[in-house]
Structure 1
Amino acid sequence: MLTVRRRWLAATAGLAAGGGMRSRQTLAQAPFPSRPVRVIVPAGAGSGPDTAMRLLADRLAALWGKPVVVDNRGGGSGNVGAGAAARAEPDGHVLLFSQASPLVLNQHLTRSMPFDPARDLTPVTLLMCTPFVLAARPGLGVRSLAELAAWAREARGGLTFATGGATSLPRFAGEQLARGLGIRLTNVPYGVSPQALQDTIAGRTDLVIDGTPLITPQLRAGLLSPVAITSATRFPGLEAVPAAAETLPGFEMGGWFALLGPGGMPAALAERIAADAARVLAVPDLRDRLLHEFGAIVSADGPAALAALMERERASLGRLVRELEVPIE
Structure 2
Amino acid sequence: MSFHRRRVLAALGLAGLLSMGALPAAAQGFPSKPVRLIVPAGAGAAPDVVARLVADKLGSLWGQTLIVDNKPGAGGIPGMSALARSPNDGYTLGFVPAAMAIVTPLVYRNPQFSTDADLVPVATVATSPLLLVTASSTGIKSLADLSRHARAHPGQVNFAAPQPNSLPTLAGQMVSKLGQMDLFTVPYPAPPAAVTAALSGDAALTADGLPGLLPHIRSGKLRALAVTSSQRLPGFETIPTVAETYPGFEAIGWFSLFAPVGTPAAVIEQVNRDVAKVMQLPDLVARLADMGIYPRTGNVVAAREFYQGQRDTMKRFVTELGLQPQ
Task: Tell me which interval the TM-score lies in, with the shorter structure as reference length.
Answer: 0.7 to 0.9
The answer (yes or no) to whether the contact 2:23–2:265 under 8 Å persists in 1 is no
RMSD of aligned alpha carbons = 2.2
- Structure 1 41/29 Cα, relative in aligned 2: closer, same or farther at 3 Å? closer
Supply the AA of the counterpart residue of 1:324: L
Report how far residue 176 of structure 1 moved: 2.0
Report how far residue 314 of structure 1 moved: 2.6
Supply the AA of the counterpart residue of 2:93: L
- Superposed CA deviations along residues 51-84 of structure 1, whole A, max 9, x for unmatched, are 2111111111111111111111112211111111
The answer (yes or no) to whether the contact 1:27–1:91 under 8 Å persists in 2 is no
* Structure 1, 311-320 or 118-127: larger mean CA deviation: 311-320
The equivalent residue for 1:280 is 278
- SS at structure 2 position matched to 1:44: coil
The answer (yes or no) to whether the contact 1:230–1:254 under 8 Å persists in 2 is yes
Q: Which among 52, 55, 58 is matched to residue 53 of structure 2? A: 55
The equivalent residue for 1:10 is none
Supply the AA of the counterpart residue of 2:151: R
Report how far residue 85 of structure 1 moved: 1.3
Supply the AA of the counterpart residue of 1:148: L
Instruction: Name the CA distance, whole Å, in 2 between partners of 1:253 and 1:156.
Output: 25
Supply the AA of the counterpart residue of 1:318: K
The equivalent residue for 1:315 is 312
The answer (yes or no) to whether the contact 1:40–1:72 under 8 Å persists in 2 is yes
The answer (yes or no) to whether the contact 1:213–1:295 under 8 Å persists in 2 is yes
Query: What 5-or-longer segments of structure 2 have no aligned partner?
Result: 1-12
Q: Which among 235, 239, 242 is matched to residue 241 of structure 1? A: 239
Equivalent residue runs for 1:126-205 within 5 Å: 126-205=124-203
Instruction: Name the CA distance, whole Å, in 2 between partners of 1:27 and 1:201.
Output: 57
Provide the TM-score with structure 2 as the length reference: 0.87
Equivalent residue runs for 1:44-83 within 5 Å: 44-83=42-81
- Structure 1 268/25 Cα, relative in aligned 2: closer, same or farther at 3 Å? closer
Report how far residue 249 of structure 1 moved: 2.8
Q: Which aligned segments of 4 or more residues in structure 1 are displaced greater than 4 angstroms?
A: 24-27
Report how far residue 112 of structure 1 moved: 1.5
The equivalent residue for 1:8 is none
Instruction: Name the CA distance, whole Å, in 2 between partners of 1:229 and 1:157.
Output: 24
Report how far residue 185 of structure 1 moved: 2.0
The equivalent residue for 2:264 is 266
Query: What 5-or-longer segments of structure 1 have no aligned partner?
Result: 1-16
Q: Which among 27, 32, 35 is matched to residue 34 of structure 1? A: 32
Equivalent residue runs for 1:299-314 within 5 Å: 299-314=296-311
- SS at structure 2 position matched to 1:163: strand
- Superposed CA deviations along residues 3-43 of structure 1, whole A, max 9, x for unmatched, are xxxxxxxxxxxxxx9xxx9xx97664543111111111111
The yes-or-no answer on 1:328 pairing with 2:319 is no
The equivalent residue for 2:119 is 121
- SS at structure 2 position matched to 1:95: strand
Q: Which among 292, 295, 299 is matched to residue 295 of structure 1? A: 292
Provide the TM-score with structure 1 as the length reference: 0.87
The yes-or-no answer on 1:228 pairing with 2:234 is no
Report how far residue 44 of structure 1 moved: 1.6
The equivalent residue for 1:14 is none
- Structure 1 308/25 Cα, relative in aligned 2: closer, same or farther at 3 Å? closer
Supply the AA of the counterpart residue of 2:61: L
The equivalent residue for 1:3 is none
Q: Which among 34, 41, 44 is matched to residue 43 of structure 1? A: 41
Identity within the alignment, % = 38
Supply the AA of the counterpart residue of 1:314: R
The equivalent residue for 1:91 is 89
Which protein shows a greater Rg?
A: 1
Instruction: Name the CA distance, whole Å, in 2 between partners of 1:146 and 1:267.
Output: 48
Matched residue count:
308
Report how far residue 149 of structure 1 moved: 2.6
- Superposed CA deviations along residues 131-162 of structure 1, whole A, max 9, x for unmatched, are 11111122321222222233333445542211
Instruction: Name the CA distance, whole Å, in 1 between partners of 2:238 and 2:81.
Output: 41
The answer (yes or no) to whether the contact 2:225–2:239 under 8 Å persists in 1 is yes
